[in-house]
Amino acid sequence: MTLDLAGKEIVIVGMARSGMAVAEFLWKRGVCVTLSDNRPASALESEIRSLDERNIRYEIGGHSTERFASADLIVVSPGVPLSLPVLQQAAQAGKTLISEIELASRYLRGSVIAITGTNGKTTTTTLIGEILRTAGFPVQVGGNIGTPLISLVESSTEDTWSVVELSSFQLEAVPTFRPNIAVILNITPDHLDRYASFEAYAQAKLNIFENQVSSDFAVLNHEDPNLQKAAAKIHSQVFWFSGRHEVQCGTYAVGGQIVFESGEKSERVMACDDVPLKGRHNIENVAAAITAARLAGIPSSSIAENVRNFKAVEHRLEPVAEIGGVHFFNDSKATNVDATFKALEAFESGVILILGGRDKGGDFTVLSTLLQQRAKSLVLLGEASDKIRMQLEGTAPMTQAASMDHAVKLAFQQAAPGDTVLLAPACASFDMFQNYEHRGREFKAAVGRLQVTGNR
């Protein structure tokens, strides 16, 4: 149901990618909007130029209470917490607060497959998009990956399938958002620097199912206890995926085979060995993608062909190089402890792990046993180094790096032929890098320089 925006005063909070996309969307429709951002002008030069060209109003360097008090609708960008005092005051005053995802969903045409989870979102979203596209479906991919959902509205039709990656932040303030197929890959501790508790973080993820009805589908990880507990409250048709156990409805990988169960019929889709991605967690991601694609009506044979040809997404257990028999993998997107745990599981032994960055409230002791079994040494980098050193003392030898280039050189010095140097930091990147992509590119550049010199 579209919103009646005629004559309304709209405030958009945050001038990052999604906030700017919302402003563009509403400006094209002649809606009066104001953007509000607490960053200084020096950090927003390109955004300010774009807004000035369109005569769109904005305030920077802080949020004025008066601006929010006069708003008819407030659209909150995912990077802005709803706990912000000015937003709390607006909510208490009865103002309507929605996310960019909610606004987009009121205008988006066609069907929606939405994917969330602590880890694996981009790989699974990309794979589902490729499967649908190859099968001839009109498909567009966006959300937390690439293009904001609001920017996909214009290109959507009644036949379009929008495959949307969603973060927990984007799933806040979504009172009516209803995907036809909703997928949660896993829920493990993350972003505890933003949420008051793990339960609050988990609930944001579970909002993806909140507005579904009996004709919709929910796809859940059978091995996640949080999702097992949540399943009873879901109103849509529940399908499971598992890398360990058979399920009655959904997809599972047992005995080296991946099988889809419709509830009435069993289909062998492909062999586990035909999945080109490393790690058991990627078998689960593939199983989730198979389930969503089958529910969308794609034949198993077409799905299997796409999976066999699928390449690792950049910064997600991405093979980088082999130098002197030492393999280098870039998993810069491992920004939490659980992601690093899953990356480590993909290697039997001989791992030199580059670990660290900005702490997100993670418990690094979770890695202890696996490190003792599979890690040869740890190279620490960034703000969280002292905490990591304290929590993981005795698990493996540790060295401290001053830069990514230094970390790669130290790791290579400690490696022998057959070993693996793995960047899987278990932390955010913002202490030393612009984002995880920048961190991953710096790792690959450092490996490239090492490849040229070959020096230990």
Active site residues: 121, 144, 191
Q: Which amino acid is at 244?
A: R
Closest by Cα among 188, 22, 9, 205 to 90: 9
Residues 6+ apart with CB under 8 A from 455: 409
DSSP summary character for residue 367: G
Residue 142 contacts residue 164 (beta carbons within 8 Å): yes
Report CA-CA distances (Å) from 55 to 24, 40, 50, 297.
Answer: 11, 19, 9, 46
35: tokens are 């953007």
Residue recorded with tokens 């409250």: 233
User: In this structure, how many other beta carbons lie within 10 angstroms of the beta carbon of residue 434?
Assistant: 11
Report CA-CA distances (Å) from 261 to 242, 252, 295, 436.
Answer: 12, 8, 11, 37
Closest by Cα among 306, 287, 139, 123 to 219: 287
The answer to whether the Cα torsion of 416, 419, 425, 429 is positive or negative is positive
How far is CA 389 from its chain centroid? Answer: 27
d(CA 442, CA 436): 10
163: tokens are 């495959």
Residue recorded with tokens 């579904």: 212
Name the phi and psi angles at 427, rounded to 5: -145, 160
